[in-house]
Amino acid sequence: MKQFVEDSVEVRVRFSESDAMGVIWHGNYLKFFEDGREKLGEHFGMSYLDISKAGYVVPIVNVEVKYLAPVTFGQKIKVICHLVDAKAAKIIHEYEIWNLATNQISCKGRTEQVFLNQDTKSLQLNYPEFYEKWKKNLPWKQK
């Protein structure tokens, strides 16, 4: 059983994001994950800029993506993003990308981020206080 907070965002894929096979190049999905992550962060008041103001950076340390069906130029997608409750001092998101033109799931993904002190670049083994406090007030659901 996992606790999560959900948000989503619709994205129009760009012509420049397609490749010579006529479909969205697989690496561009990491940009769509970013779109979902930022939308959720802004919605719940914890954007990259908020984290930066608090003195931290949160680099991605792990990415997993499963590609299930292609998206072609001109199609719109929906990025569903879950912030998943984690035991360790990590920010874990899970993603589903839906092709709104076909109503099919196109991709599933997962990213892990860690907290580094912005100045010293030292890894934080516990959640920074501002983040711990923020987490407590989120509208967690269970899956």
Closer to a second copy by Cβ: residue 118 or 126: 118
Q: Enter the DSSP assignment of 21.
A: T
Q: Does 30 bind a second copy (CB under 8 A)?
A: yes
Q: Which position among 18, 56, 94, 131 is part of the footprint of a second copy (CB under 8 A)? A: 18
- The correct pick among 53, 61, 88, 101 for binding a second copy (CB under 8 A) is 61
Residues lying near a second copy in the complex (CB under 8 A): 12, 14-16, 18-23, 25-28, 30-31, 34-35, 38, 47-49, 57, 59-68, 70, 72-74
